[in-house]
């Protein structure tokens, strides 16, 4: 398990910032141990159906007026407008109330992800680039693996001093023994070794600061890349969608049509969800999925959303 000190290192809900700002902010946050600013509430967007063409054109126009600070490092000045504004066009019925209900159900923050998630499994006393490497490593370990198992593996690795160099000096058998029983641990040994070699050769032992470069690393998928950008760099680059977010978004009809993959879900959520929420949604829904909206036999009788949930209503 991670230490209580580390449990105070959350960066969930990080602000939208420019990439260059994000690096400084992330380092500052992690070094000081302070949480990021809370998200703000705002007004609803207009409703109503429009043609696909009109929606697309409107969405493009409204992207320029979203309440966040440009994150593409394009030199444009910040544009601030009313927060919680959707991007126009389609949005799910009741999503605001459903979200508030989930926040209420998650208010105790006592799900496994709240204590053992990636934000809590790096060494807070390590140099910034070591911390970022540890964030990426814990994400690589976490796929198809319970938070408790990932945290245990990270604890064993950190006890040996977890850096790019230490991983490269470790033989595969030792690395496998340390990370076992995380899911697909044999493949992960291979990916971790390959990724560590690339980080040493191309990034001076640090991790890259873009989704595209992160996803080019062996064993790193879109969810990991977006979470690494948020936790390691303090930049919200997209919604991190894992199986919990994918399942719950479909159950609540937060996707316009049923989606088959987390990537499809991410794309459709990002079409309507206000960008101020993108950094919050992963941890919020993962914990909700761990405690209430379980994969099998969800606890609908205990859920504040049961009257608003299409699945629970048999719709
Ligand atoms: S009512 Fe049931 S299926 Fe719907 S969100 Fe709640 S737990 Fe999940």
Looking from the CA of residue 98, the nearest atom of ligand 1 is 5
Instruction: With a cut of 50, say whether residue 226 has pLDDT above it.
Output: yes
Q: d(Cα 63, Cα 42) in Å, to the nearest integer?
A: 17
What is the rounded radius of gyration, in angstroms, for the C-alpha atoms of the chain?
A: 20
For the ranges 17-26, 48-57, 141-150, 286-295, which has the lowest average pLDDT?
17-26
Which two three-digit tokens encode residue 30?
């992690």
Nearest CA to ligand 1 atom 2: 300
Give the CB-side neighbour count of residue 279, counting CA atoms within 13 A.
27
Which residue did the predictor score with more confidence, 70 or 58? 58
Average pLDDT over residues 12-40: 33
Report the separation in Å between the CA atom of 50 and the middle of ligand 1, taken as the mean of its atom positions.
29
pLDDT of residue 50: 37
Chain centre distance of CA 183 = 19
Closest to 275 measured CA to CA, from 226, 228, 232, 225: 226
Taking 90 as the threshold, does the pLDDT of residue 126 lie above it?
Answer: yes
pLDDT of 170-219, one tens digit each? Answer: 999 999 999 999 999 999 999 999 999 999 999 999 999 999 999 999 99
Q: Among 254, 304, 315, which Cα is nearest to 103's?
A: 304
Question: Is the bond preceding 262 in cis, omega lying within 30 degrees of 0?
Answer: no
pLDDT of 265: 98
- Is 48 a residue whose pLDDT tops 90? no
pLDDT at residue 6 in the model: 38
Given this model, what pLDDT does residue 85 score?
Answer: 65
**Across the chain, where does the E strand assignment appear?**
none
Among 298, 236, 184, CA closest to 18: 236
Lowest mean pLDDT among 76-80, 123-127, 249-253: 76-80
pLDDT at site 315? 84
Q: Whose CA is nearest to atom 1 of ligand 1?
A: 306
Average pLDDT value for residue range 125-144 = 97
| Mean pLDDT of the region 88-116 | 95
The span from the CA of 124 to the CA of 312, in Å, is: 42
Give the three-class secondary structure for 207: coil
Of residues 134 and 83, which shows the higher confidence score? 134
Q: Is residue 92 predicted with pLDDT exceeding 50?
A: yes
DSSP 82-111: -SS---SS---TTHHHHHHHHHHHTTT--S
pLDDT at position 2 over 70 = no
Q: What is the pLDDT of residue 62?
A: 38
Overall average pLDDT of the 97-107 stretch: 98
| pLDDT of 89 | 84
Q: What token pair was written down for 136?
A: 């990426």
Per residue in 265-301, pLDDT (tens digit) is 999 999 999 999 999 999 999 999 999 999 999 999 9
Q: What is the position in ligand 1's atom list of the atom closest to the CA of 298? A: 7
Select the more confidently predicted residue: 87 or 129.
129
Please say if the pLDDT value at position 257 is more than 70: yes
Instruction: Give the dihedral of Cα atoms 196, 210, 147, 287; nearest 10 deg.
Output: 180
**What percent of the chain lies above the pLDDT cut of 90?**
71
With 80 as the cut, is the pLDDT of residue 132 above it? yes
* pLDDT given for residue 84 in this prediction: 61
Ligand 1 centroid–CA 100 distance in Å is: 14
Closest by CA to 15, choosing from 229, 217, 290, 254, is 229
Residue 295 near residue 247, CB atoms below 8 Å: yes
Q: What angle do helix axes 147-158 and 128-142 make, rounded to 10 degrees?
A: 140
Record the tokens describing residue 23, joined without a space.
Answer: 């690096």
Domain annotation for the chain: domains and CATH numbers: 95-112+238-314 (1.10.1670.10)
Using DSSP's 3-state secondary structure scheme, residue 148 falls into helix
- Residue in 10, 129, 188, 223 annotated catalytic: 223
Q: Are 275 and 238 in contact (CB under 8 A)?
A: no
pLDDT at 38 over 70: no
Q: What are phi and psi of 117, to 5 degrees?
A: -70, 180
Closest ligand 1 atom to 309 CA? 4
Q: Classify 79 as helix, strand or coil.
A: strand
Residue 41 is among the residues annotated as catalytic for this protein: no
Atom of ligand 1 nearest to the CA of 306: 1
**For residue 296, how many other CB atoms are within 10 A of its CB?**
4
Q: Which residues line ligand 1 (CB under 6 A)?
A: 251-252, 292-293, 298-300, 303, 305-306, 309, 311-312
Q: How confident is the prediction for the chain on average, in pLDDT? A: 80
Q: How confident is the model at residue 87 (pLDDT cuts 50, 70, 90)?
A: low
Nearest CA to ligand 1 atom 8: 293
Name the residue among 255, 235, 7, 237 with its Cα closest to residue 120. Answer: 7
**Helices assigned H by DSSP within 146-299:** 147-158, 164-169, 172-179, 185-203, 211-215, 222-233, 243-251, 262-272, 278-291
């Amino acid at each position: 398990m991670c230490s209580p000190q580390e449990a105070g290192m959350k960066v969930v809900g990080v602000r939208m910032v420019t990439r260059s700002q994000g690096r400084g902010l992330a380092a500052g946050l992690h070094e000081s141990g302070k949480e990021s600013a809370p998200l703000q509430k705002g007004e609803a967007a207009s409703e109503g159906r429009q043609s696909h063409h009109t929606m697309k054109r409107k969405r493009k126009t409204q992207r320029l007026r979203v309440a966040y600070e440009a994150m593409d490092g394009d030199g444009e000045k910040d544009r601030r407008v009313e927060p919680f504004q959707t991007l126009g066009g389609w949005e799910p019925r009741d999503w605001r109330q459903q979200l508030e209900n989930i926040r209420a159900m998650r208010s105790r923050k006592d799900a496994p992800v709240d204590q053992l998630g990636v934000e809590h499994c790096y060494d807070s006393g390590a140099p910034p680039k070591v911390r970022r490497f540890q964030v990426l490593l814990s994400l690589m370990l976490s796929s198809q693996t319970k938070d408790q198992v990932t945290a245990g593996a990270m604890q064993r690795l950190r006890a040996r001093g977890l850096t790019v160099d230490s991983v490269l000096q470790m033989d595969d058998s030792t690395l496998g023994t340390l990370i076992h029983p995380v899911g697909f641990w044999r493949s992960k040994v291979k990916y971790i070794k390959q990724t560590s070699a690339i980080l040493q050769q191309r990034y001076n032992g640090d991790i890259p600061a873009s989704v595209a470069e992160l996803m080019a690393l062996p064993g790193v998928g879109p969810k990991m890349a977006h979470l690494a950008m948020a936790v390691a760099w303090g930049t919200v680059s997209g919604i991190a969608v894992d199986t919990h977010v994918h399942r719950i978004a479909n159950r609540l009809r937060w996707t316009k049509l049923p989606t088959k993959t987390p990537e499809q879900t991410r794309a459709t959520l990002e079409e309507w969800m206000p960008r101020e929420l993108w950094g919050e949604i992963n941890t919020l829904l993962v914990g909700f999925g761990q405690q209430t909206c379980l994969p099998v036999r969800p606890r609908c009788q205990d859920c504040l959303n049961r009257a608003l949930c299409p699945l629970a209503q048999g719709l």
